[in-house]
Amino acid sequence: MSATAIPNVLAERYASPLIKDIWSPTGRITIERDYWIAVMKAQRDLG
């Protein structure tokens, strides 16, 4: 099954390049990875 990307008309029209980059597929993966790293560090610090 192939996934077809549906363009987000509002994002294409109104979002800044930085916001588009943050919410791109790669940006979301990076944010999620950073989130889980922060969670693991907090758990380590709490014991």
Domains of the chain, by residue range, sit at 10-46
Identify the CA nearest to 12 among candidates 24, 4, 1: 24
Q: What is the pLDDT of residues 15-42, one digit of tens each?
A: 999 998 988 889 999 999 999 999 999 9
Q: Cα(38)–Cα(47) distance, rounded to whole angstroms?
A: 14
Query: What is the value of pTM for the model shown?
Result: 0.64
Which amino acid makes up residue 19? I
At 10, list the tokens: 């509002």
